[in-house]
Amino acid sequence: MSEDPVFKRVLIKLSGEALMGPLDYGTDPETVSAIAKQLKDVHDRGVEIAVVLGAGNIYRGLSEAAEGMDRATADYMGMLAIVLNALTLQDALEKLGVHTRVQSAITVSEVAEPYIRRRAMRHLEKGRIVIFAAGTGNPFFTSDTAAALRALEMHAEVLLMAKNGVEGIYTADPRTDPDAEFISEITARDALQRGLKVMDSTALSLCMDNHLNIHVFNMADDGNINRIVSGDRVGTLVTT
Ligand code: UDP
């Protein structure tokens, strides 16, 4: 990649599923190192990278709540599961020689820094990849909302929403509906009104109200983040 990056600072949202690879549960070491390599390639071009992780590969508060557990308790467990994913990704990045910091919204001071906005920004300026763990620190929220929130707090120019196995946003779920049509560009307002699966509505509203554009793309194609950062049209662009 020779072109200059069009973004100086990006926030990438990786769902827990992205770390799962071919497994049904947990983290696949090969998949995690492939993701770390992708992030390193973009980082090597001088782009500042913040990452927000989910934990769907380990735990999802909402489904546990449906099984009869108190929703808030289940959500706190989900946030702790995100910390596990954050340490996994940190390890993979550091194996490639990338400097990283994990900042957690729930205090786990033995393993991660607490979330301190200005400190996180300083890490980014110094060329460290910052991994934000434990979501927003609040139950009843999602890691998508954490991604929108941290992207705004960090003054990221764009939010990159990685999807697994789909190219972007469709009119319906392409995995179950053969008539689903791909959408290459849409406004956040339109996506919200049509209930399209970009991210949950709290996260999408936050992006819309604060004019943060979102690129939704397929993580399975390992050049995609680099292409987006080069200004190529990849996946779906959600404009605000
Ligand atoms: N979670 C939460 N508050 C947050 C972020 C996450 O309570 O701010 C919990 C919630 O239970 C969620 C789980 O952490 O189900 C894992 O996050 P998410 O489901 O968003 O992960 P993803 O789908 O991105 O893998």
Quick one: pLDDT at residue 132?
A: 98
**Residue 70, token pair as written in the block:** 């108190």
With vertex at residue 47, the alpha carbon angle to CA 184 and CA 124, rounded to the nearest 5 degrees, is 120
Quick one: pLDDT at residue 65?
A: 78
Partners of residue 132 on adjacent β-strands: 52, 103
Q: Using alpha carbons only, how large is the chain's radius of gyration in Å?
A: 17
**Residue 78, token pair as written in the block:** 């989900």
25 CA → ligand 1 middle, Å: 16
pLDDT in tens, 187-208: 999 999 999 988 999 999 999 9
**Residue 215, token pair as written in the block:** 């690129």
> Is 200's C-beta closer than 6 angstroms to any atom of ligand 1?
no
Place of tokens 């929130």: 149
Ligand 1 pocket test, pick from 142, 197, 199, 200 with the greatest ligand atom count within 8 Å of Cβ, gives: 142
Q: Would you say 118 and 124 are in contact if contact means Cβ atoms under 8 Å apart?
A: no
Ligand 1 pocket test, pick from 143, 153, 206 with the greatest ligand atom count within 8 Å of Cβ, gives: 143
What CATH number has the domain spanning 9-239?
Answer: 3.40.1160.10
> Is 55's C-beta closer than 6 angstroms to any atom of ligand 1?
yes
Domain spans in the chain, listed from the N-terminal domain onward: 9-239
Q: Would you say 52 and 11 are in contact if contact means Cβ atoms under 8 Å apart?
A: yes
Quick one: pLDDT at residue 213?
A: 98
Which stretches of the chain score pLDDT less than 50? none
Nearest of 67, 52, 214 to residue 137 by alpha carbon: 52
141 CA → ligand 1 middle, Å: 7
φ, ψ at 210 (rounded to 5°)? -115, 15
